[in-house]
Structure 1
Amino acid sequence: MSLIRKIVHIDMDAFYASVEQRDDPALRGKPVVVAWRGNRSVVCAASYEARKYGVRSAMPAMHAERLCPDAIFIPPDFVRYKAVSRAAREIFKRHTDIIEPLSLDEAYLDVTENKTGLPTATRVAMTIRQQIREELQLTASAGVAPNKFLAKVASDWRKPDGLFVIQPQDVDDFLFPLPVGRIPGVGKVTEAKLKQMRVSTVGDLRAIEMATLQEQFGRYGKRLYDLARGIDESPVVSDRPTKSISAEDTFERDVRLAEMEDLIRRLSEKVWEASRRNSRMARTIVLKLKTREFAILTRSHTPLNPPASCEELTAIALSLRERVDLGPDQLFRLVGVGLSNFRDEEQTPTLFFE
Structure 2
Amino acid sequence: MTEPTTDGGPDLTRKIIHVDMDAFFASVEQRDDPALRGKPVAVGGSRERGVVVAASYEARRYGVRSAMASVTARRKCPDLLFVRPRFDVYKSVSDQIHTIFRRHTDRIEPLSLDEAYLDVTGVPSARDVAEAIRAAIHAETGLTASAGVSYNKFLAKVASDQNKPDGICVIPPSAGPRFAAALPIGRFHGIGPVTAAKMTEHGILTGADLLTRPADWLRTRFGKAADYYLRAAAGLDDRPVRFNRIRKSIGAERTFSADISNDDGLFAALDPVLDAVWERIARSDAAGRTVTLKVKYQDFHQITRARSSLHPVATRPVLDDIARGLLRDLLPVPKGVRLLGVTLSALCEREPVGVTGLLL
Deviation at 1:207, TM superposition (A): 1.2
> How do 1:36-47 and structure 2 match up within 5 A?
36-47=45-56
Answering whether residue 99 of structure 2 is matched by residue 90 of structure 1, we say: yes
Deviation at 1:35, TM superposition (A): 1.5
| Moved >4 Å (runs of 4+) | 245-248, 254-260, 288-291, 295-298, 313-323, 328-337
Flag the 1:321–1:57 CA change in 2: closer, same or farther, 3 A: closer
Q: 1:219 corresponds to which letter in structure 2?
A: K
1:26 to 8, 15, 35: 35
Deviation at 1:325, TM superposition (A): 6.2
Q: What SS class does the counterpart of residue 44 from structure 1 fall into?
A: strand
Q: 1:75 corresponds to which letter in structure 2?
A: R
Deviation at 1:123, TM superposition (A): 0.5
2:85 to 60, 76, 88: 76
Return the alpha-carbon distance in structure 2 between the equivalents of residues 333 and 197 of structure 1.
29
Q: What SS class does the counterpart of residue 50 from structure 1 fall into?
A: helix
Return the alpha-carbon distance in structure 2 between the equivalents of residues 307 and 35 of structure 1.
28
Return the alpha-carbon distance in structure 2 between the equivalents of residues 329 and 172 of structure 1.
51
Deviation at 1:188, TM superposition (A): 2.0
1:196 to 198, 201, 216: 201
Q: 1:239 corresponds to which letter in structure 2?
A: N
The match for 1:183 is 188
State the percentage of identical aligned residues: 47
Flag the 1:170–1:77 CA change in 2: closer, same or farther, 3 A: same
- The answer to which of 170-179 and 205-214 deviates more is 170-179
RCO comparison, higher one (Cα < 8 Å, 6+) = 2
Q: Please give the per-residue CA displacement for 1:151-209, whole angstroms capped at 9, x wherever unaligned.
A: 00000000000000000011122122211111112122212221222211111111111
Q: Please give the per-residue CA displacement for 1:194-235, whole angstroms capped at 9, x wherever unaligned.
A: 122221111111111111111111101111111111111111
Answering whether residue 346 of structure 2 is matched by residue 340 of structure 1, we say: yes
Return the alpha-carbon distance in structure 1 between the equivalents of residues 63 and 250 of structure 2.
32
Q: What SS class does the counterpart of residue 20 from structure 2 fall into?
A: strand
> How do 1:1-354 and structure 2 match up within 5 A?
2=11, 4-113=13-122, 119-244=124-249, 255=263, 285-288=291-294, 299-301=304-306, 307-308=309-310, 320=326, 324=330, 326-327=332-333, 336=342, 338-340=344-346
Flag the 1:21–1:235 CA change in 2: closer, same or farther, 3 A: same
Return the alpha-carbon distance in structure 2 between the equivalents of residues 97 and 206 of structure 1.
36
Q: 1:233 corresponds to which letter in structure 2?
A: D
Aligned-residue RMSD, C-alpha: 3.9
Q: What SS class does the counterpart of residue 174 from structure 2 fall into?
A: helix
Q: 1:149 corresponds to which letter in structure 2?
A: F
Flag the 1:193–1:159 CA change in 2: closer, same or farther, 3 A: same
Q: 1:340 corresponds to which letter in structure 2?
A: A
Return the alpha-carbon distance in structure 1 between the equivalents of residues 121 and 159 of structure 2.
17
The match for 1:349 is none
Deviation at 1:66, TM superposition (A): 1.2
Q: What SS class does the counterpart of residue 50 from structure 2 fall into?
A: coil
Flag the 1:24–1:196 CA change in 2: closer, same or farther, 3 A: same
Flag the 1:256–1:332 CA change in 2: closer, same or farther, 3 A: farther
- The answer to which of 139-148 and 231-240 deviates more is 231-240
User: What is the TM-score of this pair, normalised by structure 2?
Assistant: 0.75
Q: Is the 8 A contact 1:257 1:332 kept in 2?
A: no
Q: Please give the per-residue CA displacement for 1:298-342, whole angstroms capped at 9, x wherever unaligned.
A: 53458xxx754589x999978855863644998999785733388
Q: 1:90 corresponds to which letter in structure 2?
A: T
Q: Is the 8 A contact 1:299 1:320 kept in 2?
A: no
Return the alpha-carbon distance in structure 2 between the equivalents of residues 256 and 41 of structure 1.
16
Return the alpha-carbon distance in structure 1 between the equivalents of residues 222 and 150 of structure 2.
27
Q: What SS class does the counterpart of residue 142 from structure 1 fall into?
A: strand
Give the gaps of 5 or more residues in structure 1: 249-253, 343-354
Give the gaps of 5 or more residues in structure 2: 1-7, 254-261, 349-360
Q: What SS class does the counterpart of residue 121 from structure 2 fall into?
A: coil
Return the alpha-carbon distance in structure 2 between the equivalents of residues 89 and 141 of structure 1.
15
Q: Is the 8 A contact 2:263 2:332 kept in 1?
A: no
Q: 1:44 corresponds to which letter in structure 2?
A: V
Q: Please give the per-residue CA displacement for 1:27-51, whole angstroms capped at 9, x wherever unaligned.
A: 1111111111111111111111111
Return the alpha-carbon distance in structure 2 between the equivalents of residues 199 and 245 of structure 1.
31
Q: Is the 8 A contact 1:257 1:328 kept in 2?
A: no
Return the alpha-carbon distance in structure 2 between the equivalents of residues 94 and 160 of structure 1.
23
